Amino acid sequence: MANILFVQDFWFEYLGPIYISEQLEINGHSVDVIVEADHSRLIKKLKPFNPDIIAFSCTTGTHRWVVQAANLLKKLFPDVLTIVGGAHATFFPEFIENEGIDVICRGEGEEAIVDFINAFEKKEDYSTIRNLWVKKPDGEIIKNDVRNLIEDLDSLPFNRRRLYRNIKLLRQSPNKHFLTGRGCPYDCSFCFNHKSKELYKNKGSYLRRHSAERVIEEIEYVKKNYGLKSVRFDDDLFILNKKWLIDFLEIYAKRIRLPFFCLVRANLLTDEIAEALGKSGCSSAYFGIESGNDFQRNEVLRKNISKDQIINCSNLLKKYKIKTGTFNMLGLPGETIEQAFETVHINQELRNEFVWVSLVQPYPRTALAEYCMKHEYIDSEISLDKIHSSYFKQSVLKNPEKNQLDNLHKLVFIAVRYPSLEKIIRKLIKIKPNLVFDLIFYLFYTRRYMKTYHMPFWRVILTGLRSKTHLKRQKN
């Protein structure tokens, strides 16, 4: 039996490690997790586990912390293997060149990780396992192709959420995340989805779904064992398959009867779907506007959604008493203050309950980054180390109005909620970015988070305090 320890710096239940840990446990391996951003405390917590393998799930932005932690742990525990999976390892596989990393897993990891751990336990060669890039003792890197996609998602082990069983703050959270499927048919320029489809070309069906019964059974299990009070569906497009959705919502309304949150897309939402969502317990739904400016939204970001569709989506959700929220970006390539205020104005017009606004992150190798390089909004190739783990820090794009855009981002909640203050806000954003604006933003963001996810103030604050070291380490 191999002893695998997941290590992460942020206080959050990651679904990727949950899926993989279930697969490992039914294959007879021991799996646990440590959540700790501070390196000295991490070492103290790690010693009693005596792991054979340390695993990281890594996104771009958090990759710097992973490198630091992996390097430190390898120096202290040279016989322990380190493996990194997640989006960053998938799209930047050269990440394995960092000294402290032995193996990376690209793409879907459930089958590959089990093959890897089984081979490791038997002292067999694992360097040819598909999905893995493996660093040999002499420094040579073996680069394997990805295997076919998992066609039948129901074939994966049932998620009992045992990975975080010893993390009280996460175990007792009243809101849990669920995935009903995988894949997205759209190609927004700011997303890695188009790269993922390239990676898995001719490797099976990209769009897949759990059966409705399987998802319901998982929610019932979590509800019974973890005191579940609300559900969050994290699918990029929860409403993509109308037939599956209607069938699922009918069962959900009968057997779960808990408020839930989901993501929709403006051009896909119909009256029939909105009615089904409302009747089954959907308490809030978010959809992406991204920008109120047509050129930015459809030419730069490639959303291909009209303002009429956005307005119709909002109206349909409200018709069936579903609280609505929107995703938006500021600091877009070449964005002017007037274009940014178009985003403010459309949110004012919609009068939705929740507004999420981030500063754009042009991740390298996305279509958006290529657009930014072509038009010289960023250097010839933006450094990964300039990408912050938070969407809320300053924009990395060149723009003569950059400070004003950063400031508007911090005051955007006030600007949307109180249109009469626009003249004052237009003056305030000309001030140098400062801590007061940051504080205003986080106060409103906390309020939005509490209402969206039905979380009490004390839990949000405690999570924030636990993540303080994480945020500090990702500051630069």
Confidence of residue 238 (pLDDT cuts 50, 70, 90): very high
Residues 423 and 291 both lie in one domain: yes
In a domain, 154, yes or no: no
Rounded CA-CA distance 221/18 in Å is 15
Query: Do 246 and 322 reside in the same domain of the chain?
Result: yes
Instruction: Express each pLDDT in 143-156 by its tens digit.
Output: 999 999 999 999 99
475 occurs within a structural domain: no
Report d(CA 272, CA 437) in Å as an integer: 42
Q: β-pairing, 132-135 with 141-143?
A: antiparallel
Query: What's the CATH code of the domain at 131?
Result: 3.40.50.280
Helix (H) or strand (E) holding 424: helix 422-428
Q: Is residue 226 part of a domain?
A: yes
Closest alpha carbon to 77 in 100, 95, 103, 104: 100
Q: How far is CA 414 from the centre of its chain?
A: 26
Same domain, 113 and 181: no
Whether 454 shows a pLDDT value over 80: the answer reads no
pLDDT bracket for residue 386 (50, 70, 90): confident
Instruction: Please check whether residues 333 and 416 belong to one and the same domain.
Output: yes
Q: Which two tokens stand for residue 343?
A: 């985003």
Predicted pLDDT of residue 139:
93
Same domain, yes or no: 425 and 279: yes
**What's the pLDDT band for 308 if we cut at 50, 70, 90?**
very high
Domain residues for the domain of 402 are 174-454
Residue 470 has pLDDT above 70, yes or no: no
Q: What is the mean pLDDT of residues 368-383?
A: 86
The answer to whether 133 touches 1, Cβ cutoff 8 Å, is: no
Mean pLDDT along residues 172-199: 93
What is the per-residue pLDDT for 283?
A: 94
Note the pLDDT tens digit of each residue in 284-303: 999 999 999 999 999 999 99
Average pLDDT over residues 448-457: 67
| Strand locations in 190-267 (E) | 208-209, 230-233, 260-263
Structural domain tally of the chain? Answer: 2
Q: Do 356 and 427 fall into the same domain?
A: yes
Q: Alpha helix locations (H) across 8-76?
A: 15-26, 39-46, 63-76
Span 90-137, pLDDT tens digits: 999 999 999 999 999 999 999 999 999 999 999 999 999 999 999 999
pTM exceeding the 0.85 threshold for the entire prediction:
yes
Among 228, 293, 297, 295, which Cα is nearest to 265's?
297
Q: What is the pLDDT of residue 469?
A: 47
Residue 87 confidence (pLDDT): 94
Q: Report in angstroms the alpha-carbon separations of 204 from 150, 168, 199.
A: 8, 39, 11
Share of the chain above pLDDT 90, in %: 77
Say whether both 136 and 230 belong to one domain.
no
Q: Is residue 165 part of a domain?
A: no
Predicted pLDDT at 456: 66
Q: CA-CA distance, 157 to 153, in Å (whole number)?
A: 9
Average pLDDT over residues 69-81: 92
With H, G, I as helix, E, B as strand and everything else as coil, classify residue 289.
strand
Lowest mean pLDDT among 66-70, 381-385, 430-434: 381-385
Q: Does 189 reside within a domain?
A: yes
Does residue 448 surpass a pLDDT of 50? yes
Instruction: Encode pLDDT of 313-360 as tens digits.
Output: 999 999 999 999 999 999 999 999 999 999 999 999 999 999 999 999
Residue 7 CA to residue 31 CA, distance in Å, equals 11
Which CATH number covers residue 180? 3.80.30.20
Residue with tokens 């009693």: 48
Strand partners, 245: none
* Residues 336, 377 within the same domain: yes
To the nearest 10°, the Cα dihedral for 358, 364, 367, 370?
110
- Confidence band (pLDDT; 50, 70, 90) for 392? confident
The Cα–Cα gap between 74 and 72 comes to 6
- Given a cut of 90, whether residue 406 has pLDDT beyond it is yes
